[in-house]
Amino acid sequence: MAVAVRGTRGGSSFRSFFSFRIFISAMFFLLFVATLSVLFTTNPSTTPDESTLPTTGNAYVHRTFLALKSDPLRTRVDLIHQQARDHITLVNAYAAYARKLKLDISRQLKMFDELAQNFSDISLRPTYRASLFDTDGPIDEDVLRQFEKEVKDRVKIARMMIVEAKENYDNQLKIQKLKDTIFAVHESLNKAKKNGALASLISARSVPKSLHCLAMRLMGEQISNPEKYRDEGPKPEFEDPSLYHYAIFSDNVIAVSVVVRSVVKNAAEPWKHVFHVVSNRMNVAAMKVWFKMRPVEGGAYLEVKAVEEFTFLNSSYVPVLKQRDLANMQKSNQAENTTNDMKTSNKYLSMLDYLRFYLPEMYPKLHKILLLDDDVVVQKDLTGLWKIDLDGKVNGAVEICFGSFHRFSHYLNFSHPSIKDNFNPKACAWSYGVNIFNLDAWRREKCTDNYHYWQSMNEDQTLWKSGTLAPGLITFYSTTKSLDKSWHVLGLGYNPSISMDEINNAAVIHYNGNMKPWLDIALNQYKNLWTKYVDNDMEFVQMCNFGL
């Protein structure tokens, strides 16, 4: 009895589940039949402009099913037609932008307008309207192929034109192209500047053929006539403080002769002027022969010495020589191929620039001395410089600052605490070239000791990089008196824009810069101011083609 009851309950559950599945299946079948009926029996009304129906979203799906029902080629017609309309829109957009940029007369604008019209003409052509767009019957496949070919040909032309014109109308592309051009030009300019600066530096540092020729001729003259060029003893005028003394440190024979001749020719009393010329061992003999052959005019006095004659200038006393010797020891591997003579010559060649810090020791009996660079030309009598009251200052020089240019901050490293704590970054810089020094005040202020202190501090070149102007600014800080600018006009070795009025009114003109007047790269508008003091009557000058 119990078994019969369990069997009955199980059969009832199974039949209920099976009936539910049949019901669900029937519902899905009816839903599917209804969907097919809607899709295949609906006959939407058509309009004469059915070819322009939307082709996106639900409308596109709707039209696709209609095309499948009527003709399989109609979808292809719609796609080709839509592609043509898309390119008409794109071409018209570029044409509109061309008009906005006022390019109405441009070739591109005319071609854009013609191409857009050609796209429109294809759709309106009677053959295509009748066979592809205004018919409910089957589409002629040959006509469709011809329509597709013409559309694709015009699409290809449109794309080529757009690619060609995109550079003119795409702002971002134009901006990027302009940036690239500016960057390339900037890089080329920097490269040209560096190459030009390097070439100019090489020209300035090299010895011109004419100058080398002159030195060799003078040395040959001394070798041929040694008795004629024996050294004379020192003259008392060399230490007479009542005379006007000049210091010129150079290895350039022709440059020194121009400085001396220009001073003497413009001096009211040339017999009161004494010139102290110091050169290196390689050129001192040529310098002595020159002034033996061409004595100074007007009764002026001149002595020529070599750096070696000032025995106190050694590495134990001069910091720059000590630093150079240490650097040479550290670079001994690089120095192996250099002869001892060349080392000595290079050392003293550089030392010529630093002699200006040792004037009181070099000329202990003098009270004042005028330091002249070898690239200056004197145009007026300079005796007035000795009469200027320096107000107890050591150095009289022309200041070169204007605005924010040529201030102490331009030459010294003010991020270093030693510089920052002791100097004013806005202090005005002055220039070497024409400097009147009060040697008594120099000794009193112990300027040489001050220079040694700062030069030793700058062993690693963290206070200033190189050269003699920066240590000069430090050494004579607060002990320099500014001179009137008419005493010293600078820039003739690099600035082509100096007015001739300023040059003519100057007592001294200075060819500072790389374009020295004895070089081929000299500025032509200033060169004659130097060449007129060249001693062209000297036979060796004629042989070596100076001034030509």
Residues in Cβ contact with 454 at an 8 Å cutoff, skipping those fewer than 6 apart: 463, 471, 474, 475
Instruction: Put the strands of the sheet holding 273-279 in their side by side order.
Output: 301-306, 273-279, 244-249, 368-372, 434-438, 395-397, 480-482
Q: Hey, CA dihedral for 49, 54, 55, 59, is it positive or negative?
A: negative
User: Does residue 420 sit in helix, strand or coil?
Assistant: helix
Q: What is the pLDDT of residue 296?
A: 94
d(CA 503, CA 525): 11
Neighbours of 82 (CB within 10 A): 15
**Exposed (0-12), middle (13-18) or buried (19+): which is 97, by Cβ within 10 Å?**
middle
- DSSP per-residue string spanning 54-122: --SHHHHHHHHHHHHHH-TTHHHHHHHHHHHHHHHHHHHHHHHHHHHTT-TTSHHHHHHHHHHHHHHHH
Q: What's the token pair of residue 371?
A: 């330091």
d(CA 501, CA 504): 5
- Of the candidates 512, 414, 417, which has an alpha carbon nearest to the alpha carbon of residue 469? 512
Q: What's the token pair of residue 517?
A: 């007047």
pLDDT averaged per 10 residues, the chain (length 548): 43 54 65 56 42 44 49 70 73 68 57 71 70 68 75 77 66 72 88 78 72 90 89 90 96 95 96 96 93 94 94 92 82 54 45 94 97 96 95 96 89 94 95 96 96 94 91 96 96 93 96 90 92 91 74
The answer to whether the beta carbons of residues 413 and 463 sit under 8 Å apart is yes
Q: What is the pLDDT of residue 285?
A: 93
- DSSP per-residue string spanning 393-409: -SEEE-B--BTTBTBHH
Q: What is the pLDDT of residue 26?
A: 65
Q: What is the pLDDT of residue 355?
A: 95
> CA of 388: how far to CAs of 382, 391, 481, in Å?
11, 9, 10
Q: Hey, CA dihedral for 165, 169, 170, 176, is it positive or negative?
A: positive
What's the pTM value of the predicted model, to 2 decimals?
A: 0.66
- Of the candidates 309, 433, 320, which has an alpha carbon nearest to the alpha carbon of residue 363? 309
- Of the candidates 277, 307, 281, which has an alpha carbon nearest to the alpha carbon of residue 291? 277
> Would you list the domain boundaries of the chain?
82-169, 230-325+348-544
Q: What is the pLDDT of residue 45?
A: 41
CATH of domain 230-325+348-544: 3.90.550.10
Q: Hey, CA dihedral for 128, 131, 132, 135, is it positive or negative?
A: positive
Label the pairing between strands 395-397 and 376-378: unpaired
Q: Hey, CA dihedral for 359, 365, 369, 373, is it positive or negative?
A: negative
Neighbours of 67 (CB within 10 A): 17
Q: What is the pLDDT of residue 35?
A: 61
